[in-house]
Amino acid sequence: MTSAAIAGFLLGATLIIAIGAQNAFILRQGLKREHVFVLCFICALADAVLIAAGVAGLGTLIKQAPVLLNFITAGGAAFLFVYGALAFRRAVSPDRLTAGDGGPLSLKAAIVTVLTFTLLNPHVYLDTVVLLGGLSARYDGAARIAYAAGACIASFVWFFSLGYGARMLSPLFARPSSWRILDTIIGVIMWALAARLLLELF
């Protein structure tokens, strides 16, 4: 069981740590110290639910539903393009990491944004449901549960480390130039991911 849990943790960490829209958003919110716990918990919980679904066999269903994946891909590409444009606009007039600056997101807006990043990203389903779920077939009984638990723990460790670890960078982001660089990088990531999704779609 221990080896299965470790295998799940390492594979989950490998897939989750990859740079993406969700991680970039959590990093930015962590730097601004806005709704960090709630957003990190939502991201980790969403991963846990999808991993559990994959281990339970939903991965096979996802593979057999190309229309659903196409819909998610198109919606995700559109959202990433818009959010990337907003990041580039912020880069023109960057924030500083001081109280009251930067037009903070409401909790509702932050939750909607992070859920959109999560649910409209087809790679989330492919990584958590299909890949992690498919590989769980190597284990039986308690070992399969341990594998899933390891992958879920990796998600919780990563998102909370990213969200709260971002605070150590606060002195650096007291300068508007640092925000300009971060938002430019975020914009590039968002548009690159949108382009990748469109290429996969067409």
From CA 153, how far away is CA 31, in angstroms rounded?
23
Helix 107-119 to helix 36-55 angle (10° resolution) is 30
pLDDT of residue 19: 59
pLDDT for 58: 66
pLDDT at 7: 81
For residue 108, name the pLDDT band (cuts at 50, 70, 90): very high
Q: For position 101, what pLDDT does the model report?
A: 45
| pLDDT at residue 3 greater than cutoff 70 | yes
Burial class (CB in 10 A: 0-12, 13-18, 19+), 152: buried
The Cβ of residue 110 has, within 10 Å, a number of other Cβ atoms equal to 19
* 200: enclosing H helix or E strand: helix 176-201
* pLDDT interval class at 100 (50, 70, 90): very low
Range among 60-74, 142-156, 167-181 with highest mean pLDDT value = 142-156
* pLDDT of 98 above 50: no
Continuous H helices in 56-175 = 58-63, 66-92, 107-119, 122-124, 133-135, 141-165
Model pTM score? 0.74
Domain boundaries of the chain, sorted by first residue:
2-201
Tell me: pLDDT of 99 over 70: no
Using the predicted structure, report yes or no on whether residue 40 has a pLDDT greater than 90.
yes
% pLDDT > 70, the chain: 88
User: Taking 70 as the threshold, does the pLDDT of residue 61 lie above it?
Assistant: no
3-state SS assignment for residue 97 = coil
For residue 154, the model assigns a pLDDT of 92
